[in-house]
């Protein structure tokens, strides 16, 4: 039988409900009106009688911020993408939902978050990844932390598309002025070398920054990409330009990393290099349209560009390109390669 106690404070009246049953944990909850208290008490008793009761107390006393911080401490450090995931968690911690109890977050709350991010013009895939992270936190709390009463609200809404297809190519003049912009802006001249190396090898940003001198075999003209996104090491053939770039880099007698550049510094310098390069282009070509010049360009687009150039050589087949880029699914490789129509037309002619 549920016991209801009326509590009177200075500002308001509340009703505390206690449900006790042998073999079940005691359940206590407070309501602002008696009708809600009685309704809750009857519901808990009925669930206990049917043997389907699940303790909701932890879900009702744990905020989303508590869950996110615990996930950040216990789960995130073991992941390869720990830095990126930590950044997403910090973004969620700043959202108003972080103050809410886990049990109170509904599907409509996640839908409102999704729509608000779209209004900020964020990429669909970025929004999807943010929601996917939250979904994993809910599932971890439910399956690993014993908060079994939780319903994952992220599974109740339509997620944004996972398609992240980009067709951005780096035009020849853009490459020239991007490098000029990096020369003008960057004190660390290795950043320019990283950009040029990316265009020569089609390697991912993380793979390039992780390269050590012990990974390079000059005799065989290869570089070993360790612990890649796919989880495997792979050997990448190096062009004569890529080998010349490596020869330009300072090298310690103890070996170590080839490019002493942090990911954050590279991203910021690349963005600034695009801005500076566009400014220099405007100075040199005041009468030409510049609306799209070096705009909407990301470092990862260099991988798109390099892969497309490999195809445009006309001497490598799909499997050979896949062995260089590390794409295991040919459909994914197709997604990354956007061949220029004018070059194909020349071959047809």
Structure tokens at 68: 């996110």
DSSP, res 23: T
Output helix, strand, coil percentages for the chain, rounded to the nearest 5.
55, 10, 35
Q: What is the third-level CATH fold of 61-156?
A: DNA polymerase; domain 1 (1.10.150)
25 confidence band (pLDDT: 50, 70, 90):
low
Which one is the CATH code of 172-348: 3.20.20.105, 3.30.2270.10, 2.40.160.40, 1.10.443.10?
1.10.443.10
Contacts of 293 (CB under 8 A, 6+ apart): 173, 174, 177, 278, 281, 282
Structure tokens at 189: 């001249």
Q: Which of 189, 229, 251, 285 is catalytic?
A: 229
- Tell me, yes or no, if 300 is annotated catalytic: yes
> Is residue 133 within 8 Å of 85, Cβ to Cβ?
yes
Of residues 151 and 97, more confidence is placed in 97
pLDDT digits (tens, 9 = 90+) for 221-244: 999 988 777 667 888 899 899 999
Q: Which of 192, 204, 276, 304 is catalytic?
A: 204
Average pLDDT rounded to a whole number, residues 76-84: 84
The residue extents of the domains of the chain are 2-53, 61-156, 172-348
- Tell me, yes or no, if 204 is annotated catalytic: yes
pLDDT digits (tens, 9 = 90+) for 166-183: 778 899 999 999 999 999
- Tell me, yes or no, if 336 is annotated catalytic: yes
Q: Which of 20, 300, 309, 335 is catalytic?
A: 300
312 confidence band (pLDDT: 50, 70, 90):
confident
**3-state SS class at 7:** strand
Contacts of 285 (CB under 8 A, 6+ apart): none
Tell me if the pTM is above 0.75.
Answer: no
- Tell me, yes or no, if 229 is annotated catalytic: yes
């Amino acid at each position: 039988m549920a016991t209801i106690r009326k509590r009177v404070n200075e500002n308001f009246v509340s009703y505390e409900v206690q449900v006790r049953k042998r073999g079940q944990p005691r359940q206590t909850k407070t309501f602002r009106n008696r009708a809600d208290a009685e309704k809750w008490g009857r519901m808990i008793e009925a669930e206990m009688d049917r043997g389907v009761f699940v303790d909701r107390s932890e879900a009702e006393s744990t905020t989303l911020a508590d869950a996110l911080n615990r996930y950040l401490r216990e789960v995130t450090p073991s992941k390869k993408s720990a830095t990126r995931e930590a950044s997403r968690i910090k973004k969620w911690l700043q959202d108003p939902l972080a103050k809410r109890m886990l049990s109170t977050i509904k599907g409509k709350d996640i839908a409102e978050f999704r729509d608000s991010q779209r209004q900020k013009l964020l990429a669909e895939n970025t929004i999807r990844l943010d929601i996917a992270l939250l979904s994993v936190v809910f599932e971890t709390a439910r399956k690993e932390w014993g908060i079994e009463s939780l319903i994952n609200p992220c599974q109740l809404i339509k997620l944004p598309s996972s398609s992240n297809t980009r067709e951005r190519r780096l035009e020849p003049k853009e490459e020239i002025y991007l490098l000029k912009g990096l020369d003008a802006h960057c004190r660390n001249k290795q950043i320019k070398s990283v950009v040029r190396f990316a265009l020569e090898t089609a390697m991912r940003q993380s793979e390039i920054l992780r390269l050590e001198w012990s990974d390079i075999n000059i005799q065989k003209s290869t570089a070993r990409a360790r612990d890649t996104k796919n989880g495997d090491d792979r050997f990448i053939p190096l062009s004569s330009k890529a080998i010349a770039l490596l020869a330009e880099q300072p090298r310690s007698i103890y070996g170590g990393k080839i490019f002493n550049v942090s990911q954050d510094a590279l991203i910021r310098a690349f963005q600034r290099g695009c801005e500076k390069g566009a400014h220099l282009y405007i100075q040199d070509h005041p009468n030409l349209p510049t609306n799209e010049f070096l705009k909407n360009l990301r470092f990862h687009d260099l991988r798109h560009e390099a892969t497309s150039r490999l195809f445009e050589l006309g001497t490598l087949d799909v499997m050979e390109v896949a062995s260089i880029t590390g794409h295991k699914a040919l459909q994914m490789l197709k997604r990354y390669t956007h061949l220029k129509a004018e070059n194909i037309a020349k071959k047809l002619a």
